[in-house]
């Protein structure tokens, strides 16, 4: 991830990927004190720009 940052390459990190990016950028990651998270997301819709982005292209 440090090489990705140094190259200026756009990157996407989710879950562990976001943690790796945080540490690579000089941050720290630690265990959550009150157990695991259970995130839920509903009614999410991409913006016009997001709808044509390669990551979301063709998704509802």
Residue 56 forms part of a structural domain: no
Q: What pTM was estimated for this model as a whole?
A: 0.55
**Residue 50 near residue 60, CB atoms below 8 Å:** no
Residue 31 forms part of a structural domain: yes
- pLDDT tens digits, one per residue of 5-60: 999 998 888 888 889 999 999 999 988 888 777 777 788 888 888 888 888 877 76
Number of separate domains in the chain: 1
Residue 57 forms part of a structural domain: no
The boundaries of the domain holding residue 42 are 2-51
Residue 45 forms part of a structural domain: yes
Q: What is the C-alpha to C-alpha distance for residues 32 and 50, in angstroms, rounded to an integer?
A: 31
**Residue 28 near residue 22, CB atoms below 8 Å:** yes
3-class DSSP state for residue 19?
helix
């Amino acid at each position: 991830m440090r090489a990705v940052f140094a190259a200026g390459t756009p990157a996407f990190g989710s879950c562990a990927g976001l943690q790796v990016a945080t540490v690579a950028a000089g941050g720290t990651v630690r265990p959550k004190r009150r157990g695991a998270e259970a995130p839920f997301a509903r009614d999410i819709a991409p913006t016009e720009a997001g709808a044509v982005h390669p990551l979301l292209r063709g998704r509802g």
